[in-house]
Each structure stands twice: as C-alpha cells, then as structure tokens.
Amino acid sequence: MQTRVDVFEDIFMIFLVLGTIVGVIVVAYTLYNAYKYRDTGEPADEDAPTLGELPTGGQGGKKLFLSFALSAVVVISLVAYAYVLLLYVETGPEGENPGEDAIEIDVEGWAFDWDFHYEDGVETTGTMYVPAGETVWINVTSDDVWHSFGISDQRVKADAIPGEYDQTWFVAEEPGEYEDAIECFELCGSGHSGMTADLVVLEPEEYEEWLEEERAALEEDEEDDEESEEDTENDEEAEEEEDDEGGED
C-alpha cells in the first residue's frame, strides 16, 4: 500500500528526472547550434539559417513536427500519471468512505491548540496517538476561527473550518514520538506560531493497549462522577430531612 509520502516522492522524482533529461537535451542542443553556426568570418553556408527565417527543422518540417508531437505525448502522459496519483491521495487506499474497521480520529482546532477524539469517547489534547503502518482517517473541524491542520512529514493538510468537516488520511510507518509535528498552516491569531501538537506513533499492539487504558480510565472517572452525584443527592436529601424535622419542632 502506497502512503501519501510515497505518492508525492514518486511525483517529485519523475518530474525531477524528466526535467533534468529535457534540460540537458535543450542546453546541449543549444550549445551545439551555437558552436555550429558561430561566426568564423567565412562566407555563410547555404544551409545556415538567416535572420527572420522561419525554422523548418529540415525535411519539410518533419523534424519540427516530430519534436512537437513527442513533447505533447510526454506532457500529456505526465499530467495523466500525476492525476491518477493525486486521485489516489484524494480518495484514499480504501476509497472515499472508510471501512467499518477503519481507524477514525476527529480533530478539532481552537485558538491555540488541537483536540483529538478517538472511539469510545477517548480524548487527548496537544498529542495525537496513531498506530504504525495502518491507515488513519481524520475528520478536521474548528471550534472558533479558520485553522489548517497539517503534518509536513506525512504530507497531510486539511482545512479546519467552523461547522464543517474536512476528511483526509495518512499512514505513519515509523514508530516514535515526533515533537511539534502537527502545525497550523492558517494564520489564526497571535498564538498561531505556537499552535502545535505532538504526534506519537505506536506499534499496533501498543496502540490498542493505550486505547484500552484510556477507556478504563474514562470509565473510572464516570463511576467516580456518578458516586459523587449520588453523595451530593444524599447530602441534599439529608439536609432537607433535617430542615423538615426542625420545622416540626
């Protein structure tokens, strides 16, 4: 499976190699003609071009036509190839809709930090946890003004707009902790430059363990909250009973 990094590196290398080849050919041909038709002080050859003459490329313009045709084929092929790769980036390896077992993380930007919402109500702020080697789908939005979520190393960028969700994906291959890997790429206020977050890439087993620990901690917090509410209700009932008894006396 190709990652976003693989796709953009492929596009870059193809354009770099072909651009270098074309550049070398053009420069070499230019230098060749500059040397061939240099001013030697001798009478000009009959085949030498004259000022204002339309070049034909020889043989009735066949060479000129062939060069234009080959150039058009190369350019159209590059555009088509790049379009197919970018379409893959747009739709993702699983198509436009993630599968049922896909890992989805809701990302919410606010001035000036990032919140990450995982399955079963697990949340983190300032640090995003993902499994290595697996496709991660993110749904990006904003709580206040326009932001832009981005991870340069993963070639990921998505607009964070209030009331809207921008979906994209990425695959982080190398486990590790990447400090300030997540940035905001939209000028959003005085704290824009400090609106960063860490990216923690875990092995799939470690990611599941982390998620289970967070779920367990969340359940404990909910139980504590319920007990606290019950204690509060009991105290209020006891106070009401005392008030009632005092009133009867």
Map the chain to HEC letters: CCCHHHHHHHHHHHHHHHHHHHHHHHHHHHHHHHHHCCCCCCCCCCCCCCCCCCCCCCHHHHHHHHHHHHHHHHHHHHHHHHHHHHHHHHHCCCCCCCCCCCEEEEEEEECCEEEEECHHHCEEECEEEEECCCEEEEEEEECCCCEEEEEHHHCEEEEECECCCEEEEEECCCCEEEEEEEEECCCCCCCHHHCCEEEEEECHHHHHHHHHHHHHHHHHHHHHHHHHHHHHHHHHHHHHHHHHHHHHC
Count CB atoms within 10 A of the CB of residue 213: 11
d(CA 109, CA 111): 7
Q: Inter-axis angle of helices 4-36 and 62-91, to 10 degrees?
A: 160
The pLDDT assigned to 101 comes to 80
What pLDDT was estimated at residue 102? 87
- The pLDDT, as a whole number, for residue 244 is 61
Best CA proximity match to 187, nearest among 160, 208, 165: 160
pLDDT at 181: 97
Low-confidence ranges of the chain (pLDDT < 50): none
* Cα–Cα–Cα angle for 240, 244, 249, rounded to 5 degrees: 150
Q: Are 165 and 140 in contact (CB under 8 A)?
A: yes
User: Using one digit for the tens of pLDDT, what is the confidence trace for 219-246?
Assistant: 887 776 666 666 566 666 666 666 666 5
- Would you state the pLDDT for residue 248? 57
Check if the beta carbon of residue 206 is closer than 8 Å to that of residue 129.
Answer: no
What is the pLDDT at residue 246?
59
